[in-house]
Amino acid sequence: PIERFRASVHKVMSMHKGTRAMTAAIGIGAEPGIDPRRESADLLYGHIHQRCQIEICDYSGLRSSFGRMSNRQFVDIMSSDMASARDSWVKVRWINIAGMSWDVIRAVAIRYDLHPLAVEDMVHARNGNSSKADYHAKHLFLRVLCHELVESAESMAAFDEVLGDMPRTESPLPYDDAKEGSISAGREDADDEMTVFSKGGSAKSTIRRRRRFWLPTHNPDIENTPLKVNFPRTAAHPYANKQMAAKKKLQDQERSIEALKRQGQAYVPVNVYPVHIFLTRDGTVISIQPNSDPELTSPITRRLQQIDSTLRSSADPSILVQSLLDLIVDKAIEVIDEYQGRIKMFERDVLLKPDIKVVRNLHLLSGDLIMHKRTLEPIKTLVYGLRVYDRDRCAAILEPEQQQHERKKWGYMSYKSKIYLADVYDHMEYVLSSLDMFASTAENLIGYTFNMTSYQMNDVMRRLTLATIIFLPLTLLTGYFGMNFHSMWSLGHSDLFFWEIAIPMMIFIVPSFTRSDIKRGVRYLHKRIVAKEAIEVRV
C-alpha cells in the first residue's frame, strides 16, 4: 500500500509540473508557430471543435469529381496515403473546409506539411487581423478578410467564442508515429455522416480506427507529462487570467456599441471574417473559412461544374486562387453598394431638413467606413504583391544553390492568373476610392448640417435685432411719456405730438444701425445691373 501511495503521489506531482510548464509558455515571449505534430498542440487546441462541411473537388479540363464529407471521414482520408492519393487525370485538387475544427486543421496540416506560422494564423485568427500573403517553400498562404453583407443584424460572435485568444505552443519537436492520436476519437458518434460523391466513388475504409492515448510518465519533459489529449485548457497562469479578463471586458464593450448602433438607420450588418487559402506546389488549393455553411464558395463550385468555364478549362490552381480572391472582392462591392444607398438617403434628409439625428447617423456611418477601409486596404496590397512580386518572393525563400536547380518552380501564380488579378486590383481600387468618397461625403454633410443650423440661428437673431432696432425709439419715447410727473412741458398735447417726435428719431436711428446692411444691398443691386448690362451688350 505504501508503494502504491508513493507512486500515486509521484504521478500527481508529474501532472502538476506538466501543467505549470504548459501555462508558463502562455503569453509574451512564447515560441511562434503551432506544430500539429506536437502532443502539446492537442492539449491546448483540442477544445476547438465544429461540425464542418468539407468538400473535395478534383478536376481537369475534361473530367471532374466532387465529394462532401464529415470531420471524421476527412481525417481518415488525410491519414491514409492510399485514400488521399490523386488520380493520374487530376490536375487540380480543391479542398474547401467550411468550419474551424482542430481535428480537421491538424489532419490537413500534417498531410500537406503546412508551415507552423500559417497554422498559428488560422487558429489565432481575429476579425481585426489584416489580410496578408506569406510565402513558404512548400506552399503559399493567404489570409483575406471577407466582408459579407447579411440580412439580419447578427454578428459572428460564435466564431470568436470558438477560437478565442489562444496561447502559443513551444518550438517544434520530431513527431512520433507510435504515439499518433486523433483528437476526434471521442467525437466519432457525433460526426457520423455519410460521404456524398457525385461520381459514385467513395474512400476505401482501410483506415484503422485510432485510439485515444495517454502520455507516458517516465519522462519529466512537457511533451511526456501524464495528461490526456482532450485535457481542457487551463487558465491558472496569472497572465492568462488577466488577458482573459481584459478580453471579456473588451467583448462586452463591443457588444454594447453594436447594440447602440442597431438603433439607428446607419447600421449596415456586415460580417467580417478571415478566409485562409493555401496553394501548394503540386496543384492543391486549400480554403478554410470559419462559417460551417459553404454558401460563400458555392459560385466557384458551380463554375467548376461547367466544362466550358475558364476556371475549369484552364485547370490552373492559381486561377482558382484568383477566383476566390475575386469572390471576396465582389462581396466587398455589395457592401459598398449598400453604403452608397445609405449615403444617398441621409443626403436627401439633410437637404430636406437638417436634424441632429441625421448627424448622429452620419457620424456612425463615417466611423464604419473608416474601419472597413482599414480592413479592406491590405487586400489591395496583397493582390498587387501577387501580380508584381510573386517570382521575387519565391526566389527569396530559396537557397542560392536551389535557385539554380529549381528555377522552373519560381512563382506560385501563372501569367494567366496575373492577368485576371489585374481585374481584381481594379475592383479593389473602386472599393477603396468609394470608401474615401463616402467618408468625405458624410463629413461634408455633417459640416453642412451644422453650418445650416448656425445660419438659421444667426438669421433668427438678426431678425430679432432688427425688430429691436425699429422699436427702440418707440420704447424710449413710451417710457418718457409714461413717467408720472405733475409738471411736464410735453403733457397737454395730443397723440400726434408723440409721432412727431418718434418718426424723426426712427429715421435717424434705424439707418444708423442698419448701415452695413444697406451698403450690402446697394452693392448687390449694382452687381445685378452690371451683369444685366453685360448680357444685353453680348446680345
Q: Once rounded to an integer, what is the mean pLDDT over residues 210-239?
A: 39
Q: What is the DSSP string of 254-274?
A: HHHHHHHHTTSTT---EEEEE
Percentage above 70 pLDDT, the chain: 74
Quick count: other Cβ atoms within 10 Å of Cβ 329? 24
179's torsion region: left (phi>0), alpha (psi -120 to 50) or beta? alpha
Per-residue pLDDT at 175 exceeds 70 = no
Percentage above 90 pLDDT, the chain: 35
Under the banding of pLDDT at 50, 70 and 90, the label for residue 505 is confident
CA distance 75 to 71: 6
Report the pLDDT value the prediction gives residue 216, as an integer from 0 to 100.
34
CB 419 within 8 Å of CB 310: no
Of 309, 314, 285, residue with least CA distance to 55: 285
Q: Could you give the angle at which helices 317-352 and 415-481 cross, rounded to 10 degrees?
A: 10
CB 204 within 8 Å of CB 192: no
Residue 347 main-chain phi, psi, to 5 deg: -65, -40
Q: Which of 19-33, 223-237, 291-305 has the lowest mean pLDDT?
A: 223-237
CA distance 14 to 225: 6
Under the banding of pLDDT at 50, 70 and 90, the label for residue 486 is low
Q: Which of 171-185, 200-214, 237-251, 291-305 has the lowest mean pLDDT?
A: 200-214
CB 150 within 8 Å of CB 268: no
Report the pLDDT value the prediction gives residue 479, as an integer from 0 to 100.
78
Report the pLDDT value the prediction gives residue 137, as an integer from 0 to 100.
87
Residue 289 main-chain phi, psi, to 5 deg: -130, 150
CA distance 94 to 300: 11
Residue 64 main-chain phi, psi, to 5 deg: -155, 155
Q: Once rounded to an integer, what is the mean pLDDT over residues 111-139?
A: 86
Report the pLDDT value the prediction gives residue 424, as an integer from 0 to 100.
95
CB 241 within 8 Å of CB 285: no
Name the 3-class secondary structure at 276: strand
Quick count: other Cβ atoms within 10 Å of Cβ 128? 10
Per-residue pLDDT at 240 exceeds 70 = no
Per-residue pLDDT at 466 exceeds 90 = no
DSSP state of 145: E
Report the pLDDT value the prediction gives residue 242, as an integer from 0 to 100.
74
Per-residue pLDDT at 107 exceeds 80 = yes
Q: Once rounded to an integer, what is the mean pLDDT over residues 294-316?
A: 91
Report the pLDDT value the prediction gives residue 172, as an integer from 0 to 100.
39
Report the pLDDT value the prediction gives residue 66, as an integer from 0 to 100.
92
For the chain, helix, strand, coil in percent to 5 are: 55, 10, 35
Q: Once rounded to an integer, what is the mean pLDDT over residues 130-157?
A: 82
Quick count: other Cβ atoms within 10 Å of Cβ 120? 17
Q: Which of 354-363, 393-402, 468-477 has the lowest mean pLDDT?
A: 393-402
pLDDT tens figures, 58-90: 999 889 999 999 999 999 999 988 888 899 999
Q: Which of 55-59, 131-135, 443-447, 474-478 has the lowest mean pLDDT?
A: 474-478
- Maximum mean pLDDT: which of 33-47, 396-410, 466-480, 505-519: 33-47
Q: What is the DSSP string of 115-140?
A: -HHHHHHHHT--TTSPPEEEE-SSEE
Report the pLDDT value the prediction gives residue 402, as an integer from 0 to 100.
61
CA distance 383 to 432: 14
Q: What is the pTM of this model?
A: 0.72
pLDDT tens figures, 335-349: 999 999 999 999 998
Residue-averaged pLDDT of the chain? 78
363 by Cβ neighbours in 10 Å (0-12 / 13-18 / 19+) ranks as middle
- Maximum mean pLDDT: which of 124-133, 396-405, 413-422: 413-422
Map out the domains of the chain as residue ranges.
34-164+264-451, 484-537
CATH number of 34-164+264-451: 3.30.460.20
CA distance 361 to 355: 10
